[in-house]
Amino acid sequence: QSVLTQPPSVSGAPGQRVTISCTGSSSNIGARYDVHWYQHLPGTAPKLLIYDTTNRPSGVPDRFSASKSGTSAFLAITGLQAEDEADYYCQSYDSGGFYVFGTGTKVTVL
Amino acid sequence: EVQLVESGGGLVQPGGSLRLSCAASGFTFSNYWMIWVRQAPGKGLEWVANIKKDGSETYYMDSVKGRFTISRDNAKNLLYVEINGLRVDDTAVYYCGRINYYYYMDVWGKGTTVTVSS
């Protein structure tokens, strides 16, 4: 089964804005399936950050926002904070009948 | 508190078997599809299998079909995955997750580690 492609790493200074891309195909993101984002620290449970492409669960700061265009999706973190240092994964559904995850992006706060 | 707690991981020789469990609490387990996701060392998250609310439908990634069996006991609020014919490339942290509206996971456990090595 296919995966969604993310940059391996992005970095920024505290207070800056960083963006993570997530590129899929016509059978997942391009097929109008929503994209969801997770924050993951090693050894802990992944945390739902964004669901249904643009929505934040209760408790997620509005510094996190997301969008989608064509076969790609984007997660933006504005006002970067030290606590945002983690791995981030996008996820969607594929018309082949399976869940597909991104390759993961490590966010480093300089 | 909504919670998922995995158990059952360990060190197993190639060709061996394991049963992983996921104990759910704080929500009506039988109302949700559930999922197993794994993360191999240095790799990203990977969908393994998912199961319908009543256990009547199951789905697997291609590389585990015939070797993994996902099941659930709604009376005990437990999710399982039985793994047979373990391979070195099955080495991973295995997470269980609660699926919301079929398409995303809104609750995750902390994972249990499976190491396949001789």
The number of angstroms, rounded, from the C-alpha of A109 to the middle of its chain's C-alpha atoms is 17
Report chain A residues whose CB lies below 8 A from the CB of B35: 99
Structure tokens at A95: 């018309």
* CA distance between the termini of chain A: 35
Name the percent of chain A lying above pLDDT 70.
98
Q: Is the confidence at residue A18, as pLDDT, over 90?
A: yes
pLDDT confidence of residue A1:
66
Sign of CA dihedral A80, B42, B45, A20: positive
Enumerate residue ranges in chain B where pLDDT < 70.
Answer: none
CB contact under 8 A, B95 and A40: no
Residue pair A75/A24 in contact by the 8 Å Cβ criterion:
no
Q: Give me the residue from B44, B62, B104 closest to A51, CB to CB.
A: B104
pLDDT confidence of residue A42:
83
Structure tokens at A107: 């966010």
pLDDT confidence of residue B68:
97
Dump pLDDT digits (tens) for A31-49.
989 999 999 998 899 999 9
Mean pLDDT of chain A: 95
pLDDT confidence of residue A43:
84
What does the alpha-carbon distance between residue B110 and residue B95 come to, in Å, rounded to a whole number? 7
Q: B75 by DSSP, 3-state: which? A: coil
Mean pLDDT of chain B: 96
**How many Cβ atoms are within 10 Å of A59's Cβ, its own excluded?**
6
pLDDT confidence of residue A47:
97
Structure tokens at A45: 């449970």
* Residue A102 Cα, gap to closest chain B Cα (Å): 7
